[in-house]
């Protein structure tokens, strides 16, 4: 049984060593394809793999078709929008994620982003503090909850909107429940996005919501660039010279944003939400353990293509 770790953006060495140990102790063969630059390398590497661990690597139909022995693919992370679930299901391949394993790293980055923008991207000049500001959390899942908890330490007022989480669950954390997105956006100095990229959410954050933000409002995106309507983002940033946007996933039109809006926008050069040793270890080792449990016990907990 061959387990392939295919990561264009590699895990830390300690995480790779941990994955290898779990795989080999289970009696399987470990293989790694790291920092690949061409899809052809991935297509070649997956040919004889029985199990595949990826990060944001695109597991397309082409990859699935090339992987003749594949039985399971685990996205070591939360968002599985990079995996063609239909292609997996058609071939009887189980697809999983590792929910919660890298959430704290992403949550800490969201707070880091808020401070970074409040302090003029660490350039000279008078900034502002998070204390007393209102943070609106859009989607109260694993990351959203941690952002709320960390933001409390900064003395922020916290509001959240998530139609899939009962109001009592949110309120138990001392977080105010917004009745809808209009209330969330109109009352929040910062909006932190934690929605997945789905057919429903893609392009859903745009002019109508952002124009409602209070003066000096800042949109913090550690989710996915696809959820932003980029043309409308440009429009609102043009109209509202006080608004700011910071993102862990460069927008498709990031060059336009940078040129037009300068220090009011910022994008990380490469997605770094889950780029901590801890998150790599948590998500990587969880992925390896899930594969072993799948083969040895038939465990399909965390399957996302049921
Ligand atoms: C996730 O969905 O878990 C994060 O976006 C992490 O992505 P990465 O593994 O590519 O850093």
How many angstroms is it from 116 CA to the middle of ligand 1? Answer: 21
Q: How confident is the model at residue 184 (pLDDT cuts 50, 70, 90)?
A: very high
Residues composing the chain: 306
Q: Is 101 helix (H, G, I), strand (E, B) or coil?
A: coil
Q: What percent of the chain has a predicted confidence (pLDDT) above 90?
A: 100
How many angstroms is it from 55 CA to the middle of ligand 1? Answer: 6
| Residue 286: how many other CB atoms lie within 10 Å | 24
The predicted structure's pLDDT at residue 256: 96
Decide: residue 172, CB within 10 A, 0-12 exposed, 13-18 middle, 19+ buried: exposed
Ligand 1 surroundings by CB, under 6 angstroms: 9, 55-56, 77-79, 102, 271, 273-274
Half-sphere exposure of 198 (CA within 13 A, CB side): 5
Average pLDDT over residues 65-87: 98
pTM given for the model: 0.96
How many angstroms is it from 9 CA to the middle of ligand 1? Answer: 10
Q: How confident is the model at residue 56 (pLDDT cuts 50, 70, 90)?
A: very high
With a cut of 90, say whether residue 274 has pLDDT above it: yes
Report the distance separating Cα 156 and Cα 139, nearest Å. Answer: 17
Average pLDDT over residues 266-285: 97
Nearest to 290 by CA among 105, 99, 104, 102: 99
Q: How confident is the model at residue 270 (pLDDT cuts 50, 70, 90)?
A: very high
The predicted structure's pLDDT at residue 249: 87
Average pLDDT for the chain: 98
pLDDT digits (tens, 9 = 90+) for 292-303: 999 999 999 999
pLDDT digits (tens, 9 = 90+) for 78-115: 999 999 999 999 999 999 999 999 999 999 999 999 99
Average pLDDT over residues 110-126: 97
Report the distance separating Cα 236 and Cα 154, nearest Å. Answer: 28
């Amino acid at each position: 049984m061959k387990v392939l770790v295919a990561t264009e953006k590699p895990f830390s060495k300690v995480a790779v060593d941990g994955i290898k140990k779990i795989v080999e102790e289970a009696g399987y063969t470990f293989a790694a394809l790291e920092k690949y630059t061409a899809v052809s390398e991935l297509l070649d590497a997956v040919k004889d793999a029985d199990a595949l661990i990826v990060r944001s690597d695109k597991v397309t139909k082409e990859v699935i078709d090339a992987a003749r022995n594949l039985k399971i693919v685990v996205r070591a992370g939360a968002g599985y929008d990079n995996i063609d679930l239909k292609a997996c299901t058609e071939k009887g391949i189980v697809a999983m994620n590792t929910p919660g394993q890298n959430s704290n790293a992403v949550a800490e980055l969201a707070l880091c982003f808020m401070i970074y923008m409040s302090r003029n991207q660490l350039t000279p000049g008078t900034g502002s503090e998070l204390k007393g500001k209102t943070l609106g959390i859009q989607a109260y899942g694993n990351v959203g909850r941690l952002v709320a908890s960390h933001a409390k330490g900064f003395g922020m007022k916290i509001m959240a909107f998530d139609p899939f989480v009962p109001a009592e669950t949110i309120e138990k954390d001392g977080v105010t429940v917004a009745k809808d997105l209009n209330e969330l956006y109109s009352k929040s100095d910062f909006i932190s996005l934690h929605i997945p990229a789905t057919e429903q959410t893609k392009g859903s954050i745009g002019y109508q919501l952002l124009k409602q933000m209070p003066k000096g409002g800042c949109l913090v995106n550690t989710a996915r660039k696809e959820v932003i309507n980029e043309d409308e983002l440009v429009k609102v940033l043009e109209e509202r010279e006080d608004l700011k946007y910071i993102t862990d996933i460069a927008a498709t039109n990031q060059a336009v944003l940078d040129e037009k809006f300068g220090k009011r926008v910022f994008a990380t050069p490469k997605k770094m939400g889950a780029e901590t040793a801890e998150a790599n270890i948590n998500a990587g080792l969880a992925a390896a353990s899930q594969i072993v449990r799948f083969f040895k016990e038939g465990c399909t907990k965390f399957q996302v293509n049921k």
